[in-house]
Amino acid sequence: MTVDSAVEAKGLLKRFGSFTAVDGLDMLIPKGAFYAFLGPNGAGKSTTISLMTGTYGPDGGSLRILGRDALKEPLEIKSRLGVVPEELSLFERLTGRQYLVFSGRMHGLSGDEAAARCEELLRLTELTAKGGSLVAEYSKGMRRRLAIAAALIHAPELVLLDEPFEGIDVLAAGVIRELLSELSRRGVTLLLTTHVLEIADRMATHAGVIRAGKIVDEGPIAELEKRHGCESLEQVFEKLIGVPVARDASLSFYK
């Protein structure tokens, strides 16, 4: 594994029956990078993240995370990893504060340390006022912020976020952007999937574009733009994915 890499995949393969979701994927994420992982629906982004988290086992290839073999040392990796899945599964009958303390205790923190980090994270995610409310009462944006707080409570070195801006309001999106920017400034490695290319363009330092289970190009965003003769990450994405030209959208029965 490259000394300064947080994630290195070579020939990574994952099949579901006759369908190949991840098809010989090569990926390199430097330590401290804010890596935007981009691709159309069904390209293999979420499956790749599931391979990183150990939810799925690969059918071929190699995967090293934070210097460890993902197959041989999964528990060591998980202790240094923070994960925010697209589909959240939170304990709704706990309060937000109880949920964060529970998450900290599950990661081996003492009760006092978990409680102290909980209060700091509630403040950073602007959930202090709702810390005593049941998670069942939280809005979608509040749940997303709580999930991010839970993923950070053990101070992970690598954080994987699958569509954290999906379906949330402007307030929640702003809080999440500020928090991710602060993590990036502190040298935490971030992998973000998003369909909001403006956010990726504004926040990320590196990007990888996946299509049909393969990385078609990756690297520092400035280098990607230069290599493809583009002025923005959005243009790079459109060029690599081959966004089709819109067809005539006129409807004959509208006058």
**Residue spans per domain, the chain:** 5-80+157-241, 92-155
Of 31-45, 94-108, 231-245, give the lowest mean pLDDT range: 231-245
What is the pTM assigned to this prediction?
0.90
| Average pLDDT of the residues in 185-192 | 95
Q: Rounded mean pLDDT of 93-112?
A: 96
pLDDT band with cut points at 50, 70 and 90 for residue 59: very high
Q: Considering the chain, what is the average pLDDT of its residues?
A: 92
pLDDT tens digits, 133-183: 999 999 999 999 999 999 999 999 999 999 998 888 888 889 999 999 999
Q: HEC profile for the chain?
A: CCCCEEEEEEEEEEEECCEEEEEEEEEEEECCCEEEEECCCCCCHHHHHHHHHCCCCCCEEEEEECCEECCCCHHHHHCCEEEECCCCCCCCCCEHHHHHHHHHHHCCCCHHHHHHHHHHHHHHCCCHHHCCCEHHHCCHHHHHHHHHHHHHCCCCCEEEEECCCCCCCHHHHHHHHHHHHHHHHCCCEEEEECCCHHHHHHHCCEEEEEECCEEEEEEEHHHHHHHCCCCCHHHHHHHHHCCCCCCCCCCCCCC
Q: What pLDDT score was predicted for residue 248?
A: 65
The confidence score (pLDDT) of residue 22 equals 97
Asked if pLDDT for residue 247 goes beyond 80, the answer is no
State residue 162's pLDDT score.
93
The reply to whether CATH 3.40.50.300 applies to domain 5-80+157-241 is yes
pLDDT at residue number 189: 97
Confidence of residue 254 (pLDDT cuts 50, 70, 90): confident
